[in-house]
Amino acid sequence: MDDLKAKYLGQISEAADEDALEAIRLAAVGKKGEVALKMRELGKMTPEERQVAGPALNALKNEINSALAAKKVALADAALDERLKTEWLDVTLPGRARRTGSIHPVSQVMEEVTAIFADMGFAVAEGPQIETDWYNFDALNIPGHHPARAEMDTFYTHRAEGDNRPPHVLRTHTSPVQIRSMEKTGAPIRIICPGRVYRADYDQTHTPMFHQVEGLALGKDISMANLKWVLEEFFSAFFGTHVETRFRASHFPFTEPSAEVDIQCSWEGGTVKVGEGDDWLEVLGSGMVHPKVLEAGGIDPNEYQGFAFGIGIDRLAMLKYGIPDLRAFFDSDLRWLRHYGFAALDQPTLHGGLSR
């Protein structure tokens, strides 16, 4: 037994890797190993001999297994030490900068507008971006000869020859959402309708796709005075300062009376500043909802009346955050977005203005 012990413990001590260690294990304590063969001979011994040889063989087997396990751990530690010598990391070096995404100014302003009107009790309503001719024009009292219905101003969807279904358009405003909301919920109602709209126009202040928010409030005693209060409250909250408004008589097919709305501003160094000065800047159209529009939405104009307004969200972003060209909103320029974009936890601040 002592010879086997010395033999295998010596081999284990000198093993250079785990493969050599496994070969020693098989030769010593494997099923056909030397110790296993010795244990098979116990059956040929007398009881007295077995009482001596059995415990000695078990002790030898346990000692060899313990030595094998210890050597395996030592080899693993040595391998790890060698690996760490070649794969090292200087934890004192600064970390690699990872750019985070930015919130687009349009998305930021959409959230701001929604929050302000929500405080005044307006719910958000949405609708399809591809609309029927009826919802986009007829229900809004826009006559067939109106320029907005021409293909040079409006995007019509393609129809195959012989297709007699009503024409569809990319909505030119979010006003169809007002009609759908009136049909669905009736009156009284108080909603805003933000979303994408489409018109065939492209220059510094117009793009074929842009964003708009429209408002609608219907009740039995709503008046232009309520409209003026709502808009002044909105502008003052949005721009962070008291903003005077000026209403000018105008004409829209879907409102009567109708009014263009200007906000107080000043021009300094080619930049507009809202809420101060003696100048005025036109920002939206509004008015009392036309009785024909109420009827199209299933509302009795003899019982209910109300106001509506519409304003470009992109234009609001330009005014508040000093963005001079609307086309840049949709150029997918990451440099522009990093400059004008917002981090998720940013608090909006007033800066800049609209270059004239």
Residue 7 has pLDDT above 80, yes or no: no
Tens of pLDDT, residues 35-61: 777 777 777 778 777 777 777 777 877
Same domain, 239 and 150: yes
Distance separating alpha carbons of residues 112 and 123, to the nearest angstrom: 14
Exposure string over 132-153, b if 16+ CB within 10 A, otherwise e: bbebbbbbbbbeeeeebbeeee
Distance separating alpha carbons of residues 307 and 67, to the nearest angstrom: 91
Indicate the helix (H) or strand (E) that contains 211.
Answer: strand 209-219
Q: Where are the alpha helices (DSSP H) in 87-123?
A: 105-119
Same domain, 165 and 220: yes
Same domain, 118 and 73: no
**What are residue 272's DSSP bridge partners?**
267
Tens of pLDDT, residues 239-294: 988 999 999 999 999 999 999 999 998 887 777 888 888 889 999 999 999 999 99
Residue with tokens 């006559």: 143
Same domain, 188 and 257: yes
pLDDT at res. 87:
75
pLDDT at res. 302:
94
Number of domains the chain is built from? 2
Distance separating alpha carbons of residues 280 and 173, to the nearest angstrom: 25
pLDDT at res. 1:
62
**Residue 96 domain-assigned?**
no
**Residue 92 domain-assigned?**
no
Tens of pLDDT, residues 297-347: 999 999 999 999 999 999 899 888 888 888 888 888 888 888 888 877 666
Per-residue confidence band for 96, with pLDDT thresholds at 50, 70 and 90: confident
Q: Provide the CATH number for the domain around residue 131.
A: 3.30.930.10
Indicate the helix (H) or strand (E) that contains 339.
Answer: helix 334-340
Tens of pLDDT, residues 141-188: 888 777 777 767 788 887 667 677 778 889 999 999 999 999 999 989
Same domain, 72 and 130: no
Top-confidence residue, 85 or 103: 103
Residue 244 in marked binding region:
no
Same domain, 113 and 206: yes
Global pTM? 0.67
**Residue 345 domain-assigned?**
no
Structural domain span for residue 253: 108-340
**Residue 159 domain-assigned?**
yes
**Residue 99 domain-assigned?**
no
Instruction: Give the residue from 268, 269, 288 showing the smallest Cα distance to 278.
Output: 268
Top-confidence residue, 26 or 302: 302
Same domain, 286 and 317: yes
The residue length of the chain stands at 356
Same domain, 162 and 41: no
Which domain-ending residue is among 51, 86, 121? 86
Residue 348 has pLDDT above 60, yes or no: no
Amino acid residing at 37: L
Distance separating alpha carbons of residues 85 and 92, to the nearest angstrom: 17
Tens of pLDDT, residues 208-250: 888 999 999 999 999 999 999 999 999 999 998 899 999 999 9
pLDDT at res. 352:
38
pLDDT at res. 98:
79
Top-confidence residue, 17 or 231: 231
Same domain, 280 and 164: yes
Same domain, 44 and 132: no
Residue 353 has pLDDT above 70, yes or no: no
**Residue 101 domain-assigned?**
no
CA 349 centroid distance within chain: 21
pLDDT at res. 354:
39
**Residue 226 domain-assigned?**
yes
pLDDT at res. 160:
65
Which domain-ending residue is among 86, 120, 140? 86
Same domain, 206 and 326: yes
- Sequence-distant (≥ 6) Cβ neighbours of residue 343 within 8 angstroms: 100, 102, 103
Same domain, 38 and 72: yes
**Residue 49 domain-assigned?**
yes
pLDDT at res. 346:
64
pLDDT at res. 48:
78
